[in-house]
Amino acid sequence: MRAVVVGGSIAGVCSAHALSTAGWQVVVVEKTTGPPTGSPTGAGLGLDPLSRTIINSWLPPQHQHTLLNNHTLPLTIDQNQFTDADKKISRILTRDESFNFRAAYWSDLHGLLYNALPPQISFLWGHVFQSFQVSDDKKSVSVYSKVLETGETVEIVGDLLVAADGCLSSIRHSFLPDLKLRYSGYCAWRGVLDLSDNENSETFVALKKVYEDLGKCLYFDLGRGTHTVFYELLNKRINWIWYVNQPEPQLKGNSVTIKVSSTMINQMHEEAEKIWVPELVKVIKETKEPFLNVIYDCDPLERIVWDRVVLIGDAAHPTTPHGLRSTNMSILDAAVLGQCVMKWGVENLDVGLKDYECIRVPVTSKQVLHSRRLGRIKQGLVLEDGKVFDPNMASPLECKDLQQKYMPGFNDVPFGFEDNSYK
């Protein structure tokens, strides 16, 4: 059996691994012309224990327990705090010291997964997806892509089409043309400050004095109607995100990243000085080429499988980033898909795909909605009950909702993945 995966990001690479492990031939169609050497629109991410188990199963056996750790840093603490904009003093709201994630740089993780792909997987760089057509008997799919180098259109026929083409998925649109993404009410300034060439950086030393657990802590810093997220990545790189409430910007092209001007960046720096402690402001101001993401999600989908076409990752469940679920959901989507098609076999592929849908839709739906609520809490937006979370006045009980471990399905393991037995 042959699968055609549209999209060569982390969701697509994970799909290739999982389906290859299940005995499938895999072709990946990706519009960019080669593997990323940097990550201009993707920065840091957090990997949960199950995702790490799955990734390790795809790595060379002799390196399974070292490669991933060598590319990541531990995140053992989940801390939420409130910063008084006037006094520039921070106070801890809640702290979980049993947090068991690891921090990775997007391009580091992508490179690790891509380089571990079995040689029989065909990865077609510079192929822009155009369209697809399901055969009359619903047993095969023809995918058409444009080759950037030559301009020709090629046809790839497979028994399964995996749509790993992101939150603005054109494949999803063909089945759900009226589906609209939901603007969250805020955008996110993002950046990575690379201090790897400066062992004695004053910025890094000063930041460590204020945020003593940097290097093992996921920091959420809440202000009034705004919040930042930051943590250290491998090689003294500080990943930061700052969420700002604003009207929905006008998007151009098929991207949720806005092109920013020097004027916009300078205005952002001025606003940062009004809210955050000087040490964090310095990190923001010294970051080269910060970028701005428009934050969307969508109401959970009731189905993610149509005949021989299956959605995976952000194409299946666009989500806000507050629950650290996007990458982890993509990895688990791929692994469950691989397990289901292997369990039911070629003769019962339709049943296997429906099984995948039945396993993933309930849990990802809850996680999307929980992440949405978490974002509204931390941004001081009105909640379903009409209330607004005030970090300066919140009770300890109210602050507990800020912790990552209360994400639905946080510790749930799908059937077939128990006791780290996934292979």
- Which tens digits make up the pLDDT trace of 207-218? 999 999 999 999
CATH 3.30.9.60 corresponds to the domain 72-106+183-297: yes
Angle between helix axes 10-21 and 49-58 (nearest 10 degrees) is: 60
Which CATH topology does 2-46+107-180+300-381 take?
Answer: FAD/NAD(P)-binding domain (3.50.50)
Residue 176 is predicted with a pLDDT of: 97
Amino acid at 152: E
- Which tens digits make up the pLDDT trace of 172-195? 999 999 999 999 999 999 999 998
**In the chain, domain spans:** 2-46+107-180+300-381, 72-106+183-297
What residues does 63 pair with on adjacent strands?
none
Q: Is the predicted pLDDT of residue 197 greater than 90, yes or no?
A: no
| Sheet with 141-147: strands ordered across | 127-134, 141-147, 153-158
- Which tens digits make up the pLDDT trace of 49-86? 999 999 999 998 877 778 999 999 999 999 999 999 99
User: Cα separation of 327 and 312, whole Å?
Assistant: 11
Pure H helices in 29-125: 49-58, 67-70, 106-115
- Which tens digits make up the pLDDT trace of 242-293? 999 999 998 877 788 888 999 999 999 999 999 999 999 999 999 999 999 9
Residue 417 is predicted with a pLDDT of: 65
Residue 103 is predicted with a pLDDT of: 95
- Which tens digits make up the pLDDT trace of 10-36? 999 999 999 999 999 999 999 998 887
**Whole-number Cα distances in Å, 76 to 66, 177, 212, 322:** 18, 42, 13, 17
CA angle 155, 133, 361 (to 5 degrees): 115
CA atoms within 13 Å, Cβ hemisphere of 54: 30
Both tokens assigned to 17? 């691994």
Same fold, 2-46+107-180+300-381 and 72-106+183-297: no
pLDDT mean across residues, the chain: 92
Q: Is the predicted pLDDT of residue 40 greater than 90, yes or no?
A: no
